[in-house]
């Protein structure tokens, strides 16, 4: 590994150099109780202001984000976040609103959340929404808690959740956290859920089928209504992982094809920030008969305005402090209002078009696991690549061309998979640049595979040992 090392502020420190000017304090040191006083001076870096600014500016330029280039990160969409979202989230009436403000003095914020709930209900085709969950996986857990509460209310919480082998990894994790056993349902030859396998596993012990549609192969589950009927006929519920809503937005609705519960990743579909682990938002939508089990408080509209409703005895309780991450809700609300119904449908159309264009352009160059019409993402693999070039090599080499690597080695049912999701915001020219980079990597694999094995060559840090980089992060300075 080689690297252009950026010293830490402590390493750059020089005795006596300062970046501040503070008036002399009138209080004497003796005013501080002796037991609270330090015995030695605190070791802070001594630097000028410009040293600090340049340090952090250099570090910021090492990050690759959606504002710098294409982010074909399948599954976990890294959509572009329009700046208008940031402007509205920073309105002082929203940004400075204290969470303990009485409802009578926060009518604007409550109105926004109430309208957003209604918008998400309409988009999902489900009757009721809670905005509380802080992320997609948190939404999964909340949705499964609702399912458990519903079955318990009916005398049997049931024991199992069925999950297709194309599921996101969070699905079995969330099910296990909610004390459900997980059984995997295989896929058929076309990459969709195997209905015969589903019917064989479905019984009165199954609480829910947890399915992603479109699935993680980028394929629409065209027999989803049949799958839902199999589950419903035995008293189970259908949980739709809404992570891929971006592909069907404004075109079809999970509630219309049989889903009873779903979470919606606002960062994936509605352009709220995603990186860094949050703050996020993963609202949960349910059919009307499940509404009493949603978290409290619910936002209700009364004759006197908007208010919180805590009187919900069947509720699973609170799942987040206060009412969710409000700033994310403002951003999503702004995006939906800005796009409108026609604009949201166009989002999905463009996302599908871009993914299909890339799939059709590369399927003769890279192995395509399932040659079916794709939705917003397509899955290639390294099968048949010359020179021993692997999926990881391809991902690293893409960095040299100025692209963030796609998701690799997922979904698990495709060996050496490369999941590519361009999203709707990439132009034809950007898609063509990505396609040409992939083709060049394929050509180089035939003539100079070692060069690809050693990629990236132009990134600030070259090839890392992935395991050691995760286990032995260097977070301190050598002083």
| Tens of pLDDT, residues 317-352 | 999 999 999 999 999 999 999 999 999 999 999 999
| Tens of pLDDT, residues 267-298 | 889 999 875 556 889 999 999 999 999 999 99
Give 197-240 as a DSSP string: HHHHH-STTEEEEEEESS-TTS---TTHHHHHHHHHHTT-EEEE
Residue 29, pLDDT score? 67
Strand, helix or coil for residue 20: coil
Residue 333, pLDDT score? 98
Residue 465, pLDDT score? 86
Residue 78, pLDDT score? 72
The whole-angstrom separation of Cα 284 and Cα 305 is: 24
The whole-angstrom separation of Cα 39 and Cα 301 is: 59
Residue 25, pLDDT score? 82
Residue 430, pLDDT score? 96
- Structure tokens, 360: 């059709």
Residue 1, pLDDT score? 46
- pLDDT beneath 70: ranges in the chain: 1-4, 29, 74-77, 275-278, 478-479
**Bridge partners of residue 262, in order along the sequence:** 240, 285
The whole-angstrom separation of Cα 271 and Cα 329 is: 11
Residue 18, pLDDT score? 92
Residue 24, pLDDT score? 85
Question: What burial class does residue 463 get, using C-beta atoms within 10 Å of its C-beta: 0-12 exposed, 13-18 middle, 19+ buried?
Answer: middle
Residue 2, pLDDT score? 47
């Amino acid at each position: 590994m080689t690297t252009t090392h950026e010293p830490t502020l402590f390493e750059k420190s020089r005795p006596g150099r300062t970046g501040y000017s503070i008036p002399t304090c009138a209080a004497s040191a003796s005013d501080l109780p002796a037991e609270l006083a330090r015995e030695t001076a605190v070791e802070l870096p001594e630097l000028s202001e410009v040293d600090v600014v340049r340090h952090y500016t250099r570090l910021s330029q090492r990050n690759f984000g959606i504002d710098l280039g294409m982010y074909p990160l399948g599954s976990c969409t890294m959509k572009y976040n329009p700046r208008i979202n940031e402007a509205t989230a920073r309105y002082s009436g929203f940004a400075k609103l204290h969470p303990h403000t009485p409802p009578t003095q926060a009518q604007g914020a409550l109105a926004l959340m109430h309208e957003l709930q209604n918008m998400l209900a309409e988009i999902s085709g489900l009757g009721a929404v809670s905005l509380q969950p802080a992320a997609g996986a948190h939404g999964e857990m909340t949705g499964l808690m609702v399912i458990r509460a519903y079955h318990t209310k009916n005398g049997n919480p049931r024991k199992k959740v069925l999950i297709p082998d194309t599921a996101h990894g969070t699905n079995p994790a969330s099910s296990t956290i909610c004390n459900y056993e997980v059984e995997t349902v295989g896929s058929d030859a076309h990459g969709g859920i195997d209905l015969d396998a589903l019917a064989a596993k479905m019984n009165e012990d199954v609480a829910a089928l947890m399915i992603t549609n479109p699935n993680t192969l980028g394929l629409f589950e065209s027999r989803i209504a049949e799958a839902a009927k199999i589950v419903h006929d035995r008293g189970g519920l259908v949980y739709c992982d809404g992570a891929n809503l971006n592909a069907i937005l404004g075109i079809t609705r999970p509630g219309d094809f049989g889903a009873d519960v779903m979470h919606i990743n606002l960062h994936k579909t509605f352009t709220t920030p995603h990186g860094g682990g949050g703050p996020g938002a993963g609202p949960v939508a349910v059919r009307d008969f499940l509404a009493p089990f949603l978290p409290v408080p619910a936002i209700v509209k009364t004759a006197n305005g908007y208010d919180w409703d805590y009187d919900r005895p069947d509720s699973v309780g609170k799942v987040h402090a206060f009412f969710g991450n409000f700033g994310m809700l403002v951003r999503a609300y702004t995006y939906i209002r800005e796009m409108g119904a026609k604009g949201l449908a166009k989002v999905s159309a463009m996302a599908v078009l871009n993914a299909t264009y890339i799939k059709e352009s590369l399927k003769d160059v890279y192995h395509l696991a399932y040659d079916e019409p794709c939705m917003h993402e397509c899955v290639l693999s390294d099968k048949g690549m010359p020179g021993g070039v692997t999926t990881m090599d391809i991902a690293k080499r893409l960095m040299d061309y100025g692209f963030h690597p796609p998701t690799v080695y997922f979904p698990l049912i495709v060996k050496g998979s490369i999941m590519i999701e361009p999203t709707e915001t990439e132009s034809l020219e950007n898609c063509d640049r990505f396609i040409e980079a992939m083709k060049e990597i394929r050509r180089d694999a035939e003539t100079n595979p070692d060069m690809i094995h050693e990629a990236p060559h132009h990134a600030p840090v070259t090839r890392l040992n992935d395991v050691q980089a995760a286990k032995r992060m260097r977070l301190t300075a050598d002083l």
